[in-house]
Structure 1
Amino acid sequence: MAEQAATSRRAPLSRDRILRTAVALADAAGIDSLSMRNLAQELGVVPMALYKHVANKDELLDAMIDMVVGEIDPPMPDAHWKQAVRQRVLSARAALRCHPWAALAIEARNMATPAILAYLDSVVATLRSGGLSADLAHHVMHAMGSRVLGFSQELFDTARDAGRSGPTPEQQPVAMPPEVAARFPHLAEIATAASHDDASVVGSGCDDQFEFEFALDLLLDGIERLQQQGWTSARR
Protein backbone atom coordinates (compact mmCIF):
# COMPACT_ATOMS: atom_id res chain seq x y z
CA MET A 1 0.00 0.00 0.00
CA ALA A 2 2.84 2.38 0.95
CA GLU A 3 4.63 1.50 -2.29
CA GLN A 4 1.45 2.23 -4.28
CA ALA A 5 1.04 5.60 -2.52
CA ALA A 6 4.69 6.45 -3.22
CA THR A 7 4.25 5.57 -6.89
CA SER A 8 1.13 7.78 -7.03
CA ARG A 9 3.03 10.68 -5.49
CA ARG A 10 5.76 10.35 -8.13
CA ALA A 11 3.20 10.57 -10.96
CA PRO A 12 3.43 13.86 -12.90
CA LEU A 13 1.13 16.55 -11.57
CA SER A 14 -1.67 17.41 -13.99
CA ARG A 15 -4.99 19.21 -13.86
CA ASP A 16 -6.86 15.92 -14.24
CA ARG A 17 -4.94 14.31 -11.37
CA ILE A 18 -5.57 17.36 -9.17
CA LEU A 19 -9.32 17.30 -9.90
CA ARG A 20 -9.70 13.58 -9.33
CA THR A 21 -7.87 13.81 -6.03
CA ALA A 22 -9.94 16.82 -4.96
CA VAL A 23 -13.18 15.01 -5.80
CA ALA A 24 -12.03 11.95 -3.84
CA LEU A 25 -11.19 14.11 -0.81
CA ALA A 26 -14.58 15.84 -0.93
CA ASP A 27 -16.34 12.48 -1.32
CA ALA A 28 -14.57 11.15 1.75
CA ALA A 29 -14.80 14.09 4.13
CA GLY A 30 -17.13 16.73 2.67
CA ILE A 31 -16.53 19.86 0.66
CA ASP A 32 -15.78 22.03 3.71
CA SER A 33 -12.80 19.83 4.55
CA LEU A 34 -11.15 20.53 1.21
CA SER A 35 -8.37 23.12 1.12
CA MET A 36 -5.52 23.80 -1.26
CA ARG A 37 -3.12 22.86 1.53
CA ASN A 38 -4.56 19.43 2.29
CA LEU A 39 -5.05 18.77 -1.43
CA ALA A 40 -1.35 19.51 -2.01
CA GLN A 41 -0.44 17.29 0.91
CA GLU A 42 -2.48 14.42 -0.54
CA LEU A 43 -0.73 14.86 -3.88
CA GLY A 44 2.71 15.09 -2.28
CA VAL A 45 3.47 18.55 -3.62
CA VAL A 46 3.79 22.07 -2.25
CA PRO A 47 0.57 24.17 -2.45
CA MET A 48 2.11 26.57 -4.98
CA ALA A 49 2.46 23.71 -7.46
CA LEU A 50 -1.34 23.50 -7.71
CA TYR A 51 -1.64 27.05 -9.01
CA LYS A 52 0.09 26.10 -12.24
CA HIS A 53 -3.03 24.09 -13.06
CA VAL A 54 -5.88 25.89 -11.24
CA ALA A 55 -5.96 29.62 -10.61
CA ASN A 56 -7.62 29.45 -7.19
CA LYS A 57 -10.05 27.42 -5.10
CA ASP A 58 -13.09 28.82 -6.92
CA GLU A 59 -11.75 27.53 -10.21
CA LEU A 60 -10.99 24.21 -8.53
CA LEU A 61 -14.58 23.90 -7.26
CA ASP A 62 -16.04 24.80 -10.65
CA ALA A 63 -13.87 22.18 -12.33
CA MET A 64 -14.85 19.60 -9.70
CA ILE A 65 -18.53 20.31 -10.39
CA ASP A 66 -17.92 19.96 -14.12
CA MET A 67 -16.23 16.61 -13.52
CA VAL A 68 -19.31 15.35 -11.66
CA VAL A 69 -21.66 16.70 -14.33
CA GLY A 70 -19.53 14.86 -16.88
CA GLU A 71 -20.72 11.59 -15.29
CA ILE A 72 -24.32 12.22 -16.41
CA ASP A 73 -25.39 9.94 -19.25
CA PRO A 74 -25.68 11.50 -22.72
CA PRO A 75 -29.14 11.95 -24.27
CA MET A 76 -30.91 8.78 -25.37
CA PRO A 77 -31.08 8.69 -29.18
CA ASP A 78 -34.53 8.35 -30.75
CA ALA A 79 -36.30 8.24 -27.36
CA HIS A 80 -39.55 10.07 -26.59
CA TRP A 81 -38.71 13.39 -24.98
CA LYS A 82 -40.35 12.46 -21.67
CA GLN A 83 -38.42 9.22 -21.37
CA ALA A 84 -35.19 10.92 -22.42
CA VAL A 85 -35.52 13.75 -19.89
CA ARG A 86 -36.48 11.32 -17.12
CA GLN A 87 -33.45 9.14 -17.83
CA ARG A 88 -31.04 12.08 -17.81
CA VAL A 89 -32.45 13.56 -14.61
CA LEU A 90 -32.15 10.21 -12.84
CA SER A 91 -28.63 9.85 -14.20
CA ALA A 92 -27.81 13.28 -12.74
CA ARG A 93 -29.23 12.12 -9.44
CA ALA A 94 -27.08 8.98 -9.53
CA ALA A 95 -23.99 11.16 -10.05
CA LEU A 96 -24.91 13.25 -7.01
CA ARG A 97 -25.42 10.12 -4.93
CA CYS A 98 -21.80 9.25 -5.67
CA HIS A 99 -20.71 12.77 -4.69
CA PRO A 100 -22.98 14.03 -1.84
CA TRP A 101 -21.16 17.38 -1.64
CA ALA A 102 -21.93 18.32 -5.25
CA ALA A 103 -25.49 19.60 -4.75
CA LEU A 104 -24.38 22.07 -2.09
CA ALA A 105 -21.41 23.13 -4.21
CA ILE A 106 -23.69 23.74 -7.21
CA GLU A 107 -26.08 25.82 -5.09
CA ALA A 108 -23.22 27.89 -3.68
CA ARG A 109 -21.81 28.98 -7.05
CA ASN A 110 -22.77 32.44 -8.29
CA MET A 111 -22.75 31.34 -11.91
CA ALA A 112 -23.45 28.05 -13.64
CA THR A 113 -20.32 26.25 -14.81
CA PRO A 114 -19.74 25.48 -18.51
CA ALA A 115 -20.63 21.80 -18.03
CA ILE A 116 -23.88 22.68 -16.25
CA LEU A 117 -24.82 25.13 -19.00
CA ALA A 118 -24.07 22.49 -21.64
CA TYR A 119 -26.17 19.93 -19.77
CA LEU A 120 -29.12 22.31 -19.37
CA ASP A 121 -28.84 23.31 -23.02
CA SER A 122 -29.03 19.66 -24.05
CA VAL A 123 -32.13 19.12 -21.87
CA VAL A 124 -33.83 22.09 -23.56
CA ALA A 125 -32.77 20.67 -26.93
CA THR A 126 -34.50 17.40 -26.02
CA LEU A 127 -37.69 19.27 -25.11
CA ARG A 128 -37.65 21.31 -28.31
CA SER A 129 -36.91 18.34 -30.56
CA GLY A 130 -39.77 16.53 -28.81
CA GLY A 131 -42.21 19.16 -30.03
CA LEU A 132 -42.43 21.50 -27.03
CA SER A 133 -42.57 25.17 -27.93
CA ALA A 134 -39.87 27.54 -26.72
CA ASP A 135 -42.54 29.13 -24.51
CA LEU A 136 -43.47 25.83 -22.83
CA ALA A 137 -39.83 24.73 -22.56
CA HIS A 138 -39.05 28.00 -20.75
CA HIS A 139 -41.69 27.33 -18.12
CA VAL A 140 -40.75 23.65 -17.88
CA MET A 141 -37.18 24.55 -16.89
CA HIS A 142 -38.52 26.89 -14.21
CA ALA A 143 -40.84 24.18 -12.90
CA MET A 144 -38.10 21.57 -12.84
CA GLY A 145 -35.69 23.84 -11.03
CA SER A 146 -32.77 22.05 -9.36
CA ARG A 147 -34.58 18.74 -9.93
CA VAL A 148 -33.27 18.73 -13.49
CA LEU A 149 -29.78 18.53 -11.94
CA GLY A 150 -30.77 15.60 -9.74
CA PHE A 151 -31.69 17.19 -6.41
CA SER A 152 -34.43 19.24 -4.84
CA GLN A 153 -34.84 21.52 -1.86
CA GLU A 154 -37.36 19.61 0.20
CA LEU A 155 -40.03 21.21 2.37
CA PHE A 156 -39.38 18.91 5.33
CA ASP A 157 -35.61 18.73 5.00
CA THR A 158 -34.15 19.93 8.31
CA ALA A 159 -30.59 18.92 7.53
CA ARG A 160 -29.57 20.71 4.34
CA ASP A 161 -26.02 21.07 5.62
CA ALA A 162 -25.63 17.34 6.11
CA GLY A 163 -24.35 16.97 2.58
CA ARG A 164 -21.31 19.02 3.45
CA SER A 165 -19.73 16.00 5.05
CA GLY A 166 -21.76 13.27 3.36
CA PRO A 167 -24.74 11.33 4.75
CA THR A 168 -24.40 9.24 7.88
CA PRO A 169 -26.76 6.64 9.36
CA GLU A 170 -27.49 8.99 12.27
CA GLN A 171 -28.73 11.84 10.05
CA GLN A 172 -32.34 10.71 9.68
CA PRO A 173 -35.52 12.76 9.82
CA VAL A 174 -36.98 12.85 13.31
CA ALA A 175 -40.58 13.07 14.43
CA MET A 176 -41.97 16.43 15.52
CA PRO A 177 -41.82 17.15 19.25
CA PRO A 178 -45.24 16.47 20.85
CA GLU A 179 -45.92 20.14 21.57
CA VAL A 180 -45.20 21.08 17.94
CA ALA A 181 -47.28 18.17 16.62
CA ALA A 182 -50.21 19.26 18.81
CA ARG A 183 -50.04 22.77 17.37
CA PHE A 184 -49.65 21.62 13.73
CA PRO A 185 -51.49 18.27 13.63
CA HIS A 186 -51.83 17.98 9.86
CA LEU A 187 -48.12 18.43 9.26
CA ALA A 188 -47.39 15.93 12.01
CA GLU A 189 -49.80 13.44 10.41
CA ILE A 190 -48.18 13.48 6.97
CA ALA A 191 -44.64 13.58 8.38
CA THR A 192 -45.03 9.95 9.48
CA ALA A 193 -47.47 8.81 6.80
CA ALA A 194 -44.88 7.15 4.54
CA SER A 195 -41.56 5.41 4.89
CA HIS A 196 -38.41 6.48 3.08
CA ASP A 197 -35.54 4.53 1.62
CA ASP A 198 -32.61 5.67 3.76
CA ALA A 199 -30.04 4.25 1.36
CA SER A 200 -31.18 6.49 -1.50
CA VAL A 201 -31.00 9.84 0.26
CA VAL A 202 -28.89 12.52 -1.41
CA GLY A 203 -27.54 14.42 1.55
CA SER A 204 -30.21 14.00 4.18
CA GLY A 205 -33.92 14.58 4.70
CA CYS A 206 -36.97 13.40 2.76
CA ASP A 207 -35.41 13.84 -0.66
CA ASP A 208 -35.10 10.10 -1.27
CA GLN A 209 -35.48 8.19 -4.50
CA PHE A 210 -39.21 7.52 -4.19
CA GLU A 211 -40.09 11.13 -3.36
CA PHE A 212 -37.81 12.41 -6.11
CA GLU A 213 -39.24 10.15 -8.81
CA PHE A 214 -42.81 10.78 -7.60
CA ALA A 215 -42.40 14.53 -8.10
CA LEU A 216 -40.47 14.10 -11.34
CA ASP A 217 -43.19 11.91 -12.85
CA LEU A 218 -45.91 14.34 -11.74
CA LEU A 219 -44.09 17.13 -13.55
CA LEU A 220 -43.37 15.15 -16.70
CA ASP A 221 -46.96 13.87 -16.96
CA GLY A 222 -48.31 17.38 -16.52
CA ILE A 223 -45.86 18.82 -19.05
CA GLU A 224 -46.86 16.19 -21.61
CA ARG A 225 -50.53 17.04 -21.07
CA LEU A 226 -49.84 20.74 -21.64
CA GLN A 227 -47.91 19.95 -24.81
CA GLN A 228 -50.79 17.88 -26.16
CA GLN A 229 -53.19 20.74 -25.39
CA GLY A 230 -51.04 23.24 -27.28
CA TRP A 231 -50.56 25.31 -24.11
CA THR A 232 -48.98 28.75 -24.30
CA SER A 233 -48.35 31.28 -21.54
CA ALA A 234 -50.44 33.80 -23.49
CA ARG A 235 -53.57 31.76 -22.69
CA ARG A 236 -53.25 32.22 -18.92
Structure 2
Amino acid sequence: MAQQDERAARAPLSRERVLRTAVDLADEQGLDAVSMRRLAERLGVVPMALYKHVANKDQLLDGMVDLVVAGIAPPPKDAGWKDALRACVLAAREAMLRHPWARRVLEAQAAPTPVLLAYTDATIAVLLRGGLSVDLVHHAMHALGSGAFGFSQELHQPGPGPAPAPSPSVAAQLAAAFPHVVAVATSRPHDAGSVVGAGCDDRFEFEFGLDLLLDGVERLHAAGWSSSADAG
Protein backbone atom coordinates (compact mmCIF):
# COMPACT_ATOMS: atom_id res chain seq x y z
CA MET A 1 0.00 0.00 0.00
CA ALA A 2 2.84 2.38 0.87
CA GLN A 3 4.48 1.69 -2.50
CA GLN A 4 1.21 2.47 -4.28
CA ASP A 5 0.92 5.78 -2.42
CA GLU A 6 4.53 6.62 -3.34
CA ARG A 7 3.91 5.84 -7.03
CA ALA A 8 0.74 7.96 -6.95
CA ALA A 9 2.63 10.85 -5.39
CA ARG A 10 5.31 10.61 -8.13
CA ALA A 11 2.74 10.46 -10.96
CA PRO A 12 2.59 13.65 -13.06
CA LEU A 13 -0.08 16.05 -11.94
CA SER A 14 -2.80 16.70 -14.53
CA ARG A 15 -6.24 18.24 -14.55
CA GLU A 16 -7.89 14.83 -14.91
CA ARG A 17 -5.90 13.40 -12.00
CA VAL A 18 -6.83 16.39 -9.82
CA LEU A 19 -10.51 16.04 -10.66
CA ARG A 20 -10.66 12.27 -10.25
CA THR A 21 -8.92 12.49 -6.90
CA ALA A 22 -11.38 15.18 -5.80
CA VAL A 23 -14.32 12.97 -6.89
CA ASP A 24 -12.89 10.06 -4.87
CA LEU A 25 -12.50 12.31 -1.84
CA ALA A 26 -16.09 13.57 -2.12
CA ASP A 27 -17.39 10.01 -2.57
CA GLU A 28 -15.55 8.85 0.54
CA GLN A 29 -16.01 11.79 2.89
CA GLY A 30 -18.63 14.10 1.43
CA LEU A 31 -18.45 17.38 -0.45
CA ASP A 32 -17.54 19.42 2.62
CA ALA A 33 -14.32 17.42 2.92
CA VAL A 34 -13.11 18.69 -0.46
CA SER A 35 -10.74 21.63 -0.07
CA MET A 36 -7.62 22.65 -1.92
CA ARG A 37 -5.53 21.81 1.14
CA ARG A 38 -7.04 18.35 1.63
CA LEU A 39 -6.82 17.62 -2.07
CA ALA A 40 -3.17 18.69 -2.20
CA GLU A 41 -2.36 16.44 0.74
CA ARG A 42 -3.93 13.45 -0.98
CA LEU A 43 -2.04 14.18 -4.19
CA GLY A 44 1.23 14.77 -2.37
CA VAL A 45 1.72 18.29 -3.68
CA VAL A 46 1.59 21.82 -2.33
CA PRO A 47 -1.81 23.56 -2.69
CA MET A 48 -0.44 26.11 -5.17
CA ALA A 49 0.31 23.29 -7.62
CA LEU A 50 -3.43 22.70 -8.02
CA TYR A 51 -4.05 26.17 -9.38
CA LYS A 52 -2.20 25.29 -12.58
CA HIS A 53 -5.11 22.95 -13.35
CA VAL A 54 -8.14 24.57 -11.66
CA ALA A 55 -8.44 28.29 -11.14
CA ASN A 56 -10.50 28.13 -7.95
CA LYS A 57 -12.84 25.98 -5.88
CA ASP A 58 -15.84 26.66 -8.12
CA GLN A 59 -13.92 25.46 -11.18
CA LEU A 60 -12.87 22.37 -9.23
CA LEU A 61 -16.50 21.56 -8.36
CA ASP A 62 -17.62 22.16 -11.96
CA GLY A 63 -14.93 19.80 -13.19
CA MET A 64 -15.91 17.15 -10.65
CA VAL A 65 -19.55 17.12 -11.69
CA ASP A 66 -18.49 17.16 -15.34
CA LEU A 67 -16.68 13.87 -14.73
CA VAL A 68 -19.83 12.41 -13.20
CA VAL A 69 -22.04 13.56 -16.07
CA ALA A 70 -19.53 12.41 -18.71
CA GLY A 71 -19.70 8.93 -17.17
CA ILE A 72 -23.48 8.56 -17.62
CA ALA A 73 -24.27 5.71 -20.01
CA PRO A 74 -25.65 6.94 -23.37
CA PRO A 75 -29.21 6.00 -24.35
CA PRO A 76 -29.64 2.78 -26.35
CA LYS A 77 -29.57 3.48 -30.09
CA ASP A 78 -32.10 0.80 -31.04
CA ALA A 79 -34.90 1.98 -28.72
CA GLY A 80 -37.81 4.31 -29.37
CA TRP A 81 -37.62 7.84 -27.99
CA LYS A 82 -39.66 7.03 -24.90
CA ASP A 83 -37.64 3.98 -23.84
CA ALA A 84 -34.38 5.68 -24.78
CA LEU A 85 -35.13 8.78 -22.73
CA ARG A 86 -36.25 6.67 -19.78
CA ALA A 87 -33.02 4.66 -19.90
CA CYS A 88 -30.98 7.85 -20.17
CA VAL A 89 -32.64 9.45 -17.15
CA LEU A 90 -32.34 6.30 -15.02
CA ALA A 91 -28.66 6.02 -15.96
CA ALA A 92 -28.23 9.58 -14.71
CA ARG A 93 -29.97 8.61 -11.49
CA GLU A 94 -27.52 5.73 -10.99
CA ALA A 95 -24.70 8.25 -11.33
CA MET A 96 -26.32 10.48 -8.70
CA LEU A 97 -26.55 7.51 -6.34
CA ARG A 98 -22.88 6.66 -6.87
CA HIS A 99 -21.91 10.29 -6.29
CA PRO A 100 -24.56 11.72 -3.91
CA TRP A 101 -22.74 15.04 -3.56
CA ALA A 102 -23.16 15.81 -7.30
CA ARG A 103 -26.78 16.88 -6.92
CA ARG A 104 -25.75 19.65 -4.55
CA VAL A 105 -23.15 20.96 -7.02
CA LEU A 106 -25.59 20.85 -9.94
CA GLU A 107 -28.24 22.78 -8.04
CA ALA A 108 -25.72 25.46 -7.02
CA GLN A 109 -24.20 26.09 -10.45
CA ALA A 110 -24.74 29.59 -11.80
CA ALA A 111 -24.52 28.38 -15.41
CA PRO A 112 -24.20 24.99 -17.11
CA THR A 113 -20.76 23.87 -18.28
CA PRO A 114 -20.12 22.67 -21.85
CA VAL A 115 -20.27 19.07 -20.59
CA LEU A 116 -23.70 19.65 -19.05
CA LEU A 117 -24.88 21.38 -22.20
CA ALA A 118 -23.66 18.43 -24.28
CA TYR A 119 -25.60 16.02 -22.07
CA THR A 120 -28.74 18.16 -22.36
CA ASP A 121 -28.24 18.44 -26.12
CA ALA A 122 -28.01 14.64 -26.43
CA THR A 123 -31.16 14.25 -24.33
CA ILE A 124 -33.07 16.66 -26.55
CA ALA A 125 -31.77 14.84 -29.63
CA VAL A 126 -33.43 11.63 -28.41
CA LEU A 127 -36.82 13.37 -28.52
CA LEU A 128 -36.27 15.14 -31.82
CA ARG A 129 -35.13 11.94 -33.52
CA GLY A 130 -38.33 10.37 -32.26
CA GLY A 131 -40.30 12.86 -34.34
CA LEU A 132 -41.48 15.16 -31.54
CA SER A 133 -41.85 18.79 -32.49
CA VAL A 134 -39.40 21.38 -31.18
CA ASP A 135 -42.36 23.04 -29.47
CA LEU A 136 -43.34 19.90 -27.56
CA VAL A 137 -39.72 19.09 -26.71
CA HIS A 138 -39.28 22.60 -25.29
CA HIS A 139 -42.15 22.12 -22.86
CA ALA A 140 -41.26 18.48 -22.10
CA MET A 141 -37.74 19.49 -21.06
CA HIS A 142 -39.16 22.19 -18.80
CA ALA A 143 -41.48 19.62 -17.22
CA LEU A 144 -38.65 17.14 -16.82
CA GLY A 145 -36.46 19.77 -15.14
CA SER A 146 -33.85 18.31 -12.82
CA GLY A 147 -35.25 14.87 -13.60
CA ALA A 148 -33.08 14.88 -16.74
CA PHE A 149 -30.14 14.47 -14.37
CA GLY A 150 -31.81 11.74 -12.34
CA PHE A 151 -33.27 13.51 -9.31
CA SER A 152 -36.33 15.53 -8.32
CA GLN A 153 -36.04 18.95 -6.72
CA GLU A 154 -37.98 19.24 -3.47
CA LEU A 155 -40.37 22.13 -2.91
CA HIS A 156 -38.97 22.54 0.59
CA GLN A 157 -35.44 22.75 1.90
CA PRO A 158 -34.75 19.45 3.69
CA GLY A 159 -33.02 19.42 7.02
CA PRO A 160 -29.70 17.71 7.70
CA GLY A 161 -31.39 14.35 8.26
CA PRO A 162 -34.73 12.59 8.48
CA ALA A 163 -37.25 14.06 10.89
CA PRO A 164 -37.64 12.10 14.11
CA ALA A 165 -40.71 9.91 14.38
CA PRO A 166 -43.47 11.47 16.51
CA SER A 167 -44.33 9.97 19.85
CA PRO A 168 -47.36 7.62 19.93
CA SER A 169 -49.53 10.30 21.49
CA VAL A 170 -48.54 12.91 18.90
CA ALA A 171 -49.02 10.37 16.10
CA ALA A 172 -52.54 9.66 17.37
CA GLN A 173 -53.35 13.37 17.45
CA LEU A 174 -52.06 13.82 13.89
CA ALA A 175 -54.10 10.84 12.67
CA ALA A 176 -57.24 12.28 14.25
CA ALA A 177 -56.68 15.81 12.96
CA PHE A 178 -55.39 14.96 9.46
CA PRO A 179 -56.57 11.41 8.67
CA HIS A 180 -56.18 11.65 4.91
CA VAL A 181 -52.66 13.07 5.02
CA VAL A 182 -51.57 10.40 7.48
CA ALA A 183 -53.21 7.63 5.48
CA VAL A 184 -51.34 8.63 2.31
CA ALA A 185 -48.04 9.42 4.03
CA THR A 186 -47.91 6.07 5.79
CA SER A 187 -49.28 3.92 2.95
CA ARG A 188 -45.88 2.85 1.67
CA PRO A 189 -42.43 2.91 3.29
CA HIS A 190 -39.71 4.59 1.24
CA ASP A 191 -36.50 2.83 0.27
CA ALA A 192 -33.81 4.91 1.96
CA GLY A 193 -31.11 3.13 -0.04
CA SER A 194 -32.36 4.50 -3.36
CA VAL A 195 -33.08 8.09 -2.31
CA VAL A 196 -31.12 10.83 -4.08
CA GLY A 197 -30.65 13.65 -1.60
CA ALA A 198 -33.10 13.94 1.28
CA GLY A 199 -36.83 13.49 1.49
CA CYS A 200 -38.88 10.73 -0.15
CA ASP A 201 -37.42 10.77 -3.67
CA ASP A 202 -36.68 7.03 -3.75
CA ARG A 203 -36.40 5.06 -7.00
CA PHE A 204 -40.03 3.94 -7.03
CA GLU A 205 -41.37 7.47 -6.57
CA PHE A 206 -38.94 8.84 -9.14
CA GLU A 207 -39.86 6.25 -11.78
CA PHE A 208 -43.57 6.74 -11.05
CA GLY A 209 -43.32 10.47 -11.79
CA LEU A 210 -41.05 9.92 -14.79
CA ASP A 211 -43.45 7.42 -16.37
CA LEU A 212 -46.42 9.74 -15.84
CA LEU A 213 -44.51 12.51 -17.59
CA LEU A 214 -43.38 10.34 -20.49
CA ASP A 215 -46.90 8.95 -20.97
CA GLY A 216 -48.25 12.48 -21.10
CA VAL A 217 -45.65 13.61 -23.64
CA GLU A 218 -46.40 10.53 -25.77
CA ARG A 219 -50.12 11.32 -25.70
CA LEU A 220 -49.55 14.93 -26.75
CA HIS A 221 -47.18 13.87 -29.52
CA ALA A 222 -49.74 11.41 -30.90
CA ALA A 223 -52.40 14.15 -30.84
CA GLY A 224 -50.20 16.61 -32.76
CA TRP A 225 -50.22 19.06 -29.87
CA SER A 226 -48.65 22.52 -30.10
CA SER A 227 -48.45 25.28 -27.54
CA SER A 228 -50.02 27.82 -29.92
CA ALA A 229 -53.07 25.63 -30.47
CA ASP A 230 -53.37 24.96 -26.75
CA ALA A 231 -53.16 28.67 -25.95
CA GLY A 232 -55.90 29.41 -28.43
Fold-level match, TM-score > 0.5?
yes
Gaps of 5+ in 1: 163-170
Who is 2:49 aligned against? Answer: 49
In structure 1, how many angstroms separate the alpha carbons of the residues matched to 2:119 and 2:60?
19
Alignment check: 8 A CA contact 1:158 1:205 kept: yes
1:192 and 2:163 are equivalent in the alignment = no
Partner in structure 2 of residue 228 of structure 1:
222
Q: Which residue of 1 aligns with 2:14?
A: 14
Q: How far, CA to CA, are the matches of 1:155 and 1:210 in structure 2?
A: 19
Give the 5 Å matches for 1:5-154: 5-154=5-154
Shift of 1:120: 0.7
Question: TM-score, normalized by length of structure 1?
Answer: 0.89
Q: Which runs of 4+ in 1 moved over 2 A?
A: 154-159, 171-189
Structure-1 separation of matches of 2:156 and 2:164:
10
Question: Which range is displaced more, 24-33 or 85-94?
Answer: 24-33
Residue 196 of structure 1 aligns with an amino acid whose one-letter code is H
Distance in 2 of aligned mates of 1:182 and 1:110: 45
Deviation at 1:5, TM superposition (A): 1.2
Structure 1 contact 157–207 (Cα < 8 Å) conserved: no
Percent pairwise identity? 58
Q: What amino acid is the match of 1:98? A: R
- C-alpha distance in 2, partners of 1:196/1:40? 39
* Secondary structure, counterpart of 1:230 in structure 2: coil
1:155-166 to structure 2, matched below 5 A, reads: 158-159=158-159, 162=160
**Partner AA of 1:81 in structure 2:** W
Higher relative contact order (CA 8 A, sep 6+): 1
Alignment of 1:206-217 (within 5 A): 206-217=200-211
User: Which runs of 5 or more structure 2 residues have no equivalent in the other structure?
Assistant: none
- Which region of structure 1 is more displaced relative to structure 2, 209-218 or 25-34? 25-34
Structure 1 residues 181 and 153, CA gap change in structure 2 (3 angstroms): farther
- For 2:197, what is the secondary structure of its paired residue? coil
Aligned amino acid, residue 225 of structure 1 = R
RMSD (Å) for aligned C-alpha atoms:
1.8
Give the length in aligned residue pairs: 226
CA distance in 2, matches of 1:111, 1:203: 21
CA distance in 1, matches of 2:195, 2:112: 24
**Structure 1 stretch displaced more, 149-158 or 4-13:** 149-158
Instruction: State which structure, 1 or 2, has the greater radius of gyration over its C-alpha atoms.
Output: 2
**TM-score normalized with structure 2 length:** 0.91
Deviates more, 1:1-10 or 1:184-193: 184-193
Q: Contact between 1:91 and 1:150, CA under 8 Å: does it hold in 2?
A: yes
Show the counterpart of 1:166: none
